[in-house]
Structure 1
Amino acid sequence: MATVLLVGFAVLLVLNVPVSFALALASLAALLYGGMPATLIIQKMTASMDSFVLLAVPFFLLSGHLMGRSGIARDIVDFADSLVGWLRGGLAHANIAAGTLMGGMTGSAVAEASSTGGALIPPMIAKGYDRPFTAAVTAAASTIAVMIPPSIPMIIFAVVTGVSVGDLFIAGVIPGLLMALALMFTSWIFAVRRGYQRGPRPSLAHIGRATRASVWGLIMPLVIIGSIRYGIATPTEASVVAVLYALFVGMYVYKTLTWSDVPGIIHDTAITTGIVMLMIAAASLYGLIVTREQIPQAAAQLIMELTTNPYLVLILILCVYLIAGMLLDLGANIIILVPVLWPLVKSLQIDPVQFGIVTVLGLAIGLITPPVGASLFVTCGIAKTNLLEGSKAAFPFIVALLAVTLLIIFVPAVATWLPYSAKG
């Protein structure tokens, strides 16, 4: 069965079949080959989507669409520029700061790359920034969106492993800020070497105006994290609160949303949600094969023959993630790889929250590495540069993100201190 699954999956990917369909068809073929009844297959797929935690996915996506359509992205960019735009290579720093703040609204790296890239890449090019550099820094900044809550990949990881979504959300805050600092340091080195100019130093009055204009967007991540941290709402309930908050801001504060806009926004959200849910349903079949063929046990035995050192094991896993990230989408990789690696992680008593953060960050690097590199593909299109040049420019940012990942591996408290201290 495993051979049928792997060969079928590889062939379908080569034929450019979408990942979710490739996974479903290959799994279906393998299960039928193994003599599994078709009714069990259907039951498994539907049961996998019957999850209270998964209800958070469409609501967080909907809140991100609502906030994006309201025009708050423009104010977030202005606020970020007022804070760091005066540094050497100011627009690059503003790009990263905006990506960090926008991540708390969208939870999606590609959505953040598109919105921030559309707002900042053209003015960066007009100020003399190299086109591949503008694409690379925007794509790299977008990876922070999957670390700062709400993060859709973290929800998928929680569904696959049973780890608390709230713990993962809170754990992503410090790594997300470290990612921003690492990317800003890398951008500063570029700016010094290439002579990129500083932006004008803003007055306190300008910073005050930018802060007041963006305060509604800045509050949203605090609403999500605060409601979870203080037990006011579960992550799923917090996602509904986020939707109501986004509706209020868009309709009554910014007054850029009307009820006639809502059906179109819901339509866009439904399409994205359908993609995620179909992938999870297809992955349930994959999980059935993984369990039946004892693949996790074999993988654990293979790695433990090499080493039982938790740090080295996590580094080996990171290497797997970096390769997988070049080939498949982040969500698909979590669904495919984590069930195989999870028994090994538990046997070595690696902290599950630490593993979750390493997983999401390690696979997020694939968003800026070819040939998939979804965020880099989007930003290269906005910057009107080819993917090869964008990939070359992205390499230093990849190194910076790897450094943060290794820090989390060797110093687990970077990821675990905040969620566990929040519990008292």
Structure 2
Amino acid sequence: MTLVLFLSFVLLLILNVPIAFSLMISSLVAVIYGGFPVVVVIQRAITATDSFILLAIPFFMIAGNLMDNGGISKRLISFANSSVGFIRGGLAHVNIVTSMLFAGITGAAVADTSAVGSILIPAMKSEKYSNSFSAAVTGSSSVIGVIIPPSIPFVIYGVITGVSVGRLFMAGFIPGILIGLSQMLISYVYAKKYNFGQVKHFSLRNFFADLKGSVLALLMPVIILGGIIIGVVTPTEAAVLATIYALFIGFFAYGELSIKRMPGLLLESAKTAATVMFMIAGAYLYGWIITSDQIPQKVVALVTNFSSNPSVVLWIFVLIYFVTGMFIDLGASIILLVPVLFPVIQILGIDPLLFGVVTVMALAIGLVTPPVGACLFISCEIAGIPLAKGALAAIPFIIGMFLVLMLIIMFPQLALFIPRIVMG
């Protein structure tokens, strides 16, 4: 069955069938080939999506869209500008810090690229930053959106493996901040070398004025994570609170949302959430089929015969993730690979929490690598340059992300420290 599953899945991808449908159709073909009744497909799909924690995905998406369209973008950018705009290469740093702030709101990288890039790339052009550098820093910094909590990929990983989503959120803090700092260092070196950007002076008055204007937006991550940390709400309930809070800000605090715009925002969120849920349903079938054929056990035997060193095995998986991420969407890659690889890390005693962070970080790099590279593609479109040109400019940022990933693998406590201290 597994061979039929893989062959039909690859064929559908070649035919440019969306990932969600490719998963479901190839699973259906494999089930029929294996002689199982077709009703199994429906049963497994319903079982896969009948999960309370999965409700967090559509609510985080709605909250992100509401915040993005409710006047948050320009306020967060103003705050970031007053905070780090005085550093050499100011707008590049503003770009990165804004992405870090957005990461605590949307949980999705592509949304951050569109929101931040549409404002900052034209501004960077006006200050004589090269188009390729502007696109590279925008696309690369957006990757932070799936690492700093809340993170939709962490929710998907938690559902597949049973690892606490709250602990995964906590584990993403330090790695996400380290990626942001590494990108700021790279941007500073570039700005110094090529004389990018204007040199500005720090204004304490502007800083506090912009902080006051953006404080309501900055409270969003506090609501989400604070509630989870103190145990008042689950991640799903936190997502609902975030949505209610976003509605309040958009309608009453900033007044930039209107009833007229709501159907479009909700429809956009529903479409994206439906795609993710469809992928999860297909992945559940996919996982059931490969488990029936004992593929995970065979992978365990193959990997452990090659090496039983946890760090070596993690790097083997990182390479697999890197190649996969170049061609397949992050969420789909988690759904496809984690059910096969997770038994290996359990046998080798690798912390599932650490594996979750490594998985999301490694696959997130694919968001800025051709030929797919969704974040880089969007930022290059905004900058008006070919994808290849943006990819070349993004290489230093990709290397920086790999170095941070290396630190996390070498020193796991960088990821595990906060969840162990906060959540025990």
User: Which residue pairs with 1:389 in the alignment?
Assistant: 389
Structure 2 residue 126 is the aligned partner of structure 1 residue 118: no
Counterpart Cα distance in 1 of 2:212 and 2:267:
32
Whether contact under 8 Å (1:91, 1:199) holds in the other structure is no
User: Which residue pairs with 1:421 in the alignment?
Assistant: 421
**What does 1:239-388 correspond to in 2, within 5 Å?**
239-388=239-388
Query: 1:198-244, CA deviations, whole angstroms, 9 ceiling, x for partnerless residues?
Result: 44213111111111111111110111010000011011110110011
What TM-score, normalized by structure 1, do the two folds share?
0.99
User: Which residue pairs with 2:4 in the alignment?
Assistant: 4
Give the root-mean-square deviation of aligned CA atoms: 0.9
AA matched with 2:95: N
- State the shift of 1:67 in Å: 0.3
- State the shift of 1:289 in Å: 1.0
AA matched with 1:356: G
- 1:105 is paired with a residue whose SS is coil
- State the shift of 1:2 in Å: 1.2
Whether contact under 8 Å (1:148, 1:172) holds in the other structure is yes
Counterpart Cα distance in 1 of 2:299 and 2:186:
36
AA matched with 1:191: A
User: Which residue pairs with 1:95 in the alignment?
Assistant: 95
- State the shift of 1:410 in Å: 0.9
- State the shift of 1:30 in Å: 1.0
Counterpart Cα distance in 1 of 2:126 and 2:82:
19
Whether contact under 8 Å (1:60, 1:239) holds in the other structure is yes
AA matched with 1:21: F
- State the shift of 1:259 in Å: 2.7
Counterpart Cα distance in 2 of 1:182 and 1:23:
36
- 1:382 is paired with a residue whose SS is helix
- 1:76 is paired with a residue whose SS is helix
What TM-score, normalized by structure 2, do the two folds share?
0.99
Whether contact under 8 Å (1:80, 1:94) holds in the other structure is yes
User: Which residue pairs with 1:106 in the alignment?
Assistant: 106
Counterpart Cα distance in 2 of 1:136 and 1:215:
29
Counterpart Cα distance in 2 of 1:423 and 1:21:
38
AA matched with 1:133: F
- 2:375 is paired with a residue whose SS is helix
Counterpart Cα distance in 2 of 1:222 and 1:171:
16
- State the shift of 1:197 in Å: 3.0
Between 1:184-193 and 1:374-383, the stretch displaced more is 184-193
- State the shift of 1:189 in Å: 1.4
User: Which residue pairs with 1:172 in the alignment?
Assistant: 172
- State the shift of 1:419 in Å: 0.5
Structure 2 residue 189 is the aligned partner of structure 1 residue 192: no
Whether contact under 8 Å (2:66, 2:247) holds in the other structure is yes
Query: 1:330-366, CA deviations, whole angstroms, 9 ceiling, x for partnerless residues?
Result: 0000000000011001111111111100000100000
Query: 1:138-165, CA deviations, whole angstroms, 9 ceiling, x for partnerless residues?
Result: 0000000001111110000001000000
Moved over 3 A (4+): none
Counterpart Cα distance in 2 of 1:78 and 1:8:
49
Counterpart Cα distance in 2 of 1:36 and 1:128:
62
Query: 1:48-88, CA deviations, whole angstroms, 9 ceiling, x for partnerless residues?
Result: 00000001011110000110110111010111111111111
Whether contact under 8 Å (2:167, 2:423) holds in the other structure is no
Structure 2 residue 421 is the aligned partner of structure 1 residue 406: no
Whether contact under 8 Å (1:376, 1:390) holds in the other structure is yes
User: Which residue pairs with 1:22 in the alignment?
Assistant: 22
Structure 2 residue 232 is the aligned partner of structure 1 residue 232: yes
- State the shift of 1:180 in Å: 0.3
Query: 1:161-190, CA deviations, whole angstroms, 9 ceiling, x for partnerless residues?
Result: 000000001111111111100111111111
AA matched with 1:323: V
- 1:75 is paired with a residue whose SS is helix
Counterpart Cα distance in 2 of 1:142 and 1:135:
11
Whether contact under 8 Å (1:85, 1:198) holds in the other structure is no
**What does 1:46-57 correspond to in 2, within 5 Å?**
46-57=46-57
User: Which residue pairs with 1:69 in the alignment?
Assistant: 69
User: Which residue pairs with 1:207 in the alignment?
Assistant: 207
Counterpart Cα distance in 1 of 2:258 and 2:233:
28
Structure 2 residue 25 is the aligned partner of structure 1 residue 43: no
AA matched with 1:168: L
